[in-house]
Structure 1
Amino acid sequence: MRLPTQTVIQMYQDNLFRIAFSICQNREDAEDVVQETFLRYHSGAVDFNDEMHIRAWLIRVTINQSKNMLRTFWHRNRTSLEDYMEQLNFSDTESQELFETVMKLPEKYRTVIHLFYYEDYSIKEIADILKISESNVKVRLNRGRTVLRDTLKEAWDYEQSE
């Protein structure tokens, strides 16, 4: 099975951008990663089983490309997270604080939290996408949640003491 490239772009562009951004933490790098992912899809000769296989393949390529981007020289000269945060619009300050905290997590926790909470993937699906065991996904989710909870609790306790 192979869908037309334009159809795949329309269906997955936003999701892939969010995944790439959660890893790269830079708009330009994330856009480059998504573009490269679609180029690989368009020029590749992979035959997919179904639409879910296409989606999983695109996410896997996006994650790999994002990790490769982190290793490049250009990534070290990216826009800071603070500069990018000024460009985003949030419905309330709590959403912004949560986003900032998630984006500061180590990459391995940030990726599984993003896939689980923002992309609604199951633990099994995340394990397949990241090529790690389900128990490893659970550990990373648990540790990521713990870091988030501790960080947000510290901020909450600090605000209460003022």
Structure 2
Amino acid sequence: MNFEPDVSKAKAGDRHAFVLLMRRIQTDMYGMAYSILQNDDDSADALQETIMQAYQSISSLREPAFFKTWIFRILINKCNQILRKKRRTLHMEALHYEPASSGDEYRQVELREVVNQLDESMRVVVTLRYFQDMQIREISDVLDISESAVKTRLHRARKVLINMLQYSGEGKAKLNEGY
């Protein structure tokens, strides 16, 4: 998706171009926020805060070609702020995976539901790679980690996902091993 013409206009102060940009990526952004926060209200808050910050600082974006990476970095930072705030006020229970009981072993498991059971560091890289179609380099930039760390997290996540899917009685999972 080419964002550059609208990004250039938005950087120049065109509000309509900024709104169009947000409409084009709002679903992807919400999905990313939800994969981190696991809550509709918190995800909506993160999205709103991200859009406000992006609007206020879009003129500082140096390279329009990196708009999506830039805004996803803002979004992930906002999500992490919300998580830190929640952890201070609430004791969050750890996510756990409950395998299907023998009576419903043939039920369909949505991949997204299984991905949501991953540890946050793995869940974020899987979501960016497979649901947002970001390249390893882009994920590395967004998360501010090395490319090898991204690859390691993806590898570990695939192993966990395969085990979870096999354990649930869904049969063998075949995930793309390519980075």
What TM-score do you get using the length of structure 2 for normalisation? 0.72
Segments of 5+ residues of structure 2 without an aligned counterpart are 1-7, 11-16, 96-106, 172-179
Which one of 71, 74, 79 corresponds to residue 84 of structure 2? 71
CA distance in 2, matches of 1:47, 1:101: 35
The alpha carbon displacement at 1:5 in A equals 2.3
Question: Which piece of structure 1 moves more, 64-73 or 148-157?
Answer: 148-157
| Structure 1 residue matching 2:148: 3-state secondary structure | helix
Q: How far does the alpha carbon of each residue in 1:75-108 deviate from its partner, in whole angstroms, 9 at most, with x for none?
A: 8499xx9xxxxxxxxxxx5352x22211010000
| Structure 1 residue matching 2:85: 3-state secondary structure | coil
Which one of 33, 37, 47 corresponds to residue 24 of structure 1? 37
The alpha carbon displacement at 1:47 in A equals 3.4
Dislocated runs of 4+, deviation >6 Å: none
Count of residues in Structure 1 that have an aligned counterpart in Structure 2? 143
Closer, same or farther: CA 47–112 of 1 in aligned 2, 3 Å? closer
- Is structure 2 residue 46 aligned with structure 1 residue 43? no
What root-mean-square deviation, in Å, do the aligned CA atoms of Structure 1 and Structure 2 show? Answer: 2.3
The alpha carbon displacement at 1:7 in A equals 1.6
Which one of 74, 80, 97 corresponds to residue 61 of structure 1? 74
Segments of 5+ residues of structure 1 without an aligned counterpart are 82-92
The alpha carbon displacement at 1:73 in A equals 3.1
Closer, same or farther: CA 106–2 of 1 in aligned 2, 3 Å? farther
CA distance in 1, matches of 2:47, 2:23: 12
- Higher alpha-carbon Rg: 2
Which one of 92, 100, 119 corresponds to residue 132 of structure 2? 119
Checking the alignment, whether the CA contact within 8 Å between 2:72 and 2:142 is kept in structure 1 is yes
Match of 2:23 in 1: 10
Checking the alignment, whether the CA contact within 8 Å between 1:109 and 1:144 is kept in structure 2 is yes
CA distance in 2, matches of 1:95, 1:125: 29
One-letter identity of the residue aligned with 1:64:
N
What TM-score do you get using the length of structure 1 for normalisation? 0.79
CA distance in 1, matches of 2:124, 2:90: 20
| Structure 1 residue matching 2:55: 3-state secondary structure | helix
The alpha carbon displacement at 1:157 in A equals 7.6
The within-5 A match list for 1:77-156 is 94-96=108-110, 98-156=111-169
CA distance in 2, matches of 1:73, 1:123: 30
One-letter identity of the residue aligned with 1:118:
F
Checking the alignment, whether the CA contact within 8 Å between 2:109 and 2:170 is kept in structure 1 is no
One-letter identity of the residue aligned with 1:116:
R
Q: How far does the alpha carbon of each residue in 1:7-41 deviate from its partner, in whole angstroms, 9 at most, with x for none?
A: 22111111110110000011111111011011001
